[in-house]
Chain A
Amino acid sequence: MFIHYIDLAWRSLKRTPIVSLLMLLAIAIGIGITMTSLSVYHMMSVNPMQHKDEQIFAVQLRTMDQDASWWTVDNLPHQLTYQDAMNLRQSPVPFRQTAMLKTGFGVKPDNANIAPFMEVARAADSDFFAMFEVPFAHGGPWDKRIDLQGETVAVIGAEMNRKLFGGGNNVGKDIVLDSVAYRVVGILADWKLEPQIYDLNNGAWGNNEQLFIPFSLLPIEELKSWGNNNGWKYEEQKTYQDKLNSEVVWLQYRVELTDKQMQQDYRDYLAGYIKQQQQLGRFNRDDAQGDIKYISQWLDYREVVSDDNKVLVGLSFMFLAVCLANILSLLLAKFLKRAPEIGVRRALGASKTQVFMQHLVEVGMLGLAGGVLGLAIAQLGLHLLRSGFSRYEQVAQMDLTMWLAAPTISILACLLAGCYPAWKVCRTTPALYLKTQ
């Protein structure tokens, strides 16, 4: 019977091609626009390390003096000062931890055919790679010893490896960064971590570095910051050492705390650390406090999915609702015009349920077709977003979930719009149209 309904639905759609086309377009455009905004939203709200969501934490300290305040909702800076980062690195509590700085170099390739270029780099501790599950093709992270002493070693990304060496295992070779030679200890496999949960300061997408060096080199090589530097008071900075001693926040800090106990221990540790620093004359405020936020809290807190995106999704669903209202009225007119035929079917033994199902199948088919066409429109929409705005390059994408969601939403939406017309027509009194032709 179901196949028969499909056959009937197909004939019915063919019989009124213009109306069918209008309905198809209405649903397809509605779905297309909804899926475009929903896909962007979906990609933006992806958590790339769901399996370690409540284990990796960003560390924050409210370091400002009593009368100073920060612009964040919870009055906490996003980053740490050098002093605090160096002190926290001493903590025995975390399973893994890393202080980080976004920096960069002029890279001078060995090969004379390749012009020197500027390259972003990340100074981090060796735990970084394991914490964020960064895959290695050759070699590995530098030794933990180097995290303490500082040594000019580097881990390079797969792309950088191709660019500098044309690929292959080049562990042990040197690269020259700002005229200092760094020995390559590890080469990454192709890798992407987006949104870039370890540092969201300069955009969440498309920023994974190709060059990593030990954080311990920071005072030795006087690494420049290529990221954000924020302060809450005026401090003269004549030398690099002045910056290291300042209250400027410019370093990211992440800890891996594997269980609830460790997390509590770390909170206690932070509280103790603040007390200790207050005795040294820092953190002059009553509500001096530390905080740790796990990945999805951090993504939320940093508004990786902005309110604009949410509003856009809401608006596009409202647009879809308008499309559905149109479809509803078209369906109602179409179905009621068919009432005489339905009267005959009822008289020949069709139950209300069967009539209802016949019409729902028709509406469902419309939804399926609309969903498929809507997918095409959404692809076009995403393509336009990608080509028009570079910041959408990574997020204007559709993953499998969205591919499946499109026809599902479309069919459900159509069934919703079709319920009332189908119910209306199945209530046709059989005899009403039978007396005369």
Chain B
Amino acid sequence: MLNMTNISKVYRSEMVQTHALRDFNLQVNEGEFIAVTGPSGSGKTTFLNIAGMLETYTGGTYELDGINVGKLTDNGRAELRNQKIGFIFQGFNLIPDLNLYENVEVPLRYRGIKTAERKRRIERCLEQVGLGARAKHVPAQLSGGQQQRVAIARALAGEPRFLLADEPTGNLDSLMARQVMELLESINKDGATIIMVTHDPELARRAQRNIQVVDGQICDFKLYQGGAEQQRATAGA
């Protein structure tokens, strides 16, 4: 579904050039659940942004569902993003003036979903992240962890085929983190392809495939044939 070959991304400011990504090669198949790890500043977020067409790249080719993204117009990218992609941002990026309900509603509106269906989805997703009772609150009235959960609900409500999650559990306690992980696993089971950046090795291990980004490149390729089985095997040894 996702196919990146020799993708590079260079940030140019007046004095310095930062190579955020270089010779980045990755294939992701439909239905995969991939965990991305790597040191801070290694280019993980940059990779996700390019994968989600939020950012352009400086070199290489990127195909999504067989469509060469580099050839799309801005509106074309917006449409593709709207239809297929869900985001959980590293900073939660909720819109401060909107209450939780309305925040979750944003992508649904742009997708042209009818009011009744929107309401159904929003209530279900807020319920799933344990914030059903808080729908009328604004983000400033929530803790960091709660805000993170709203951001997750917002991504899930769109029922995206392709979910890009940037440290979705970064601000959550381990119990909540596990719940979120289970949520992600369940939508993965329903057919969504997920790429998740995480610093938590335990969560990473639960994914089907792990990739590590170091200095803008995929450095190590560990393939887990079903994360859970691997864990059991390690425990047994």
Contact = CB atoms under 8 A, between A and B. Distances in A.
A435 B45 contact: yes
A349 B78 contact: yes
Contacts of B52: 347
A349 B110 contact: yes
A87 interface: no
Given A434-B49, A434-B89, A437-B91, A348 B78 contact: no
Interface stretch (B30-38, B92-100, B181-189): B92-100
Nearest to A345: B106
B190 to A, nearest CB: 20
Given A1-B109, A434-B49, A434-B93, A347 B55 contact: no
Given A430-B54, A434-B89, A348 B106 contact: yes
A350 interface: yes
Instruction: Name the residue among A12, A340, A349, A434 with the largest chain B CB count within 10 angstroms.
Output: A349
Contact of B109 (A4, A352, A435): A4
A199 to B, nearest CB: 65
Interface residues on A, range: 20 to 34
A347 B95 contact: no
A347 B75 contact: no
Contacts of A347: 52, 54, 81, 87, 89, 93
A351 B82 CA distance: 9
Contacts of B97: 11-12, 15, 341
Contacts, number: 79
B87 A351 contact: no
Interface in A409-437: 429-431, 433-437
Contacts of A429: 54-55
Interface string A330-368: 000000000011011111111111100000000000000
A353 B82 CA distance: 14
B80 to A, nearest CB: 9
A327 B162 CA distance: 42
A434 B97 CA distance: 17
A33 B2 CA distance: 60
Main secondary structure of the interface of A (DSSP, over half): helix
A431 B54 CA distance: 5
A436 B75 contact: no
A430 B91 CA distance: 14
A434 B106 contact: no
Interface residues of B, number: 29
A351 B75 contact: yes
Contact of A348 (B90, B92, B96, B107): B107
B127 interface: no
B229 interface: no
A81 to B, nearest CB: 76
Contacts of A12: 97
Nearest to B45: A435
Interface in B64-83: 74-75, 78-79, 81-83
Contact of B75 (A340, A343, A353): A353
Contacts of B79: 351
B48 to A, nearest CB: 9
A428 to B, nearest CB: 11
A341 B91 contact: no
B78 A434 contact: no
Contacts of A350: 78, 82, 110
B186 to A, nearest CB: 22
A431 B81 contact: no
A434 B110 contact: no
A435 B90 contact: yes
Nearest to B106: A348
Nearest to B111: A349
Given A15-B97, A351-B75, A436 B90 contact: yes
A362 B87 CA distance: 27
B78 A351 contact: yes
Nearest to B75: A351
B54 A434 contact: yes
Contacts of A351: 74-75, 78-79, 82, 110
Interface in B84-141: 87, 89-97, 106-107, 109-111
A350 B45 CA distance: 21
Nearest to B81: A349
B154 interface: yes
B106 A436 contact: no
A341 B52 CA distance: 17
Contacts of B94: 344
A15 B93 CA distance: 19
13 contacts: A1-B109, A345-B106, A345-B110, A349-B83, A349-B111, A350-B110, A351-B78, A351-B110, A353-B75, A431-B54, A434-B54, A434-B90, A434-B93
Interface of B: 45, 49, 52, 54-55, 74-75, 78-79, 81-83, 87, 89-97, 106-107, 109-111, 154, 158
7 smallest beta-carbon distances between A and B, as pairs: A349-B82, A437-B91, A349-B110, A431-B54, A351-B78, A348-B107, A431-B55
Interface of A: 1, 4, 11-12, 15, 340-341, 343-354, 429-431, 433-437
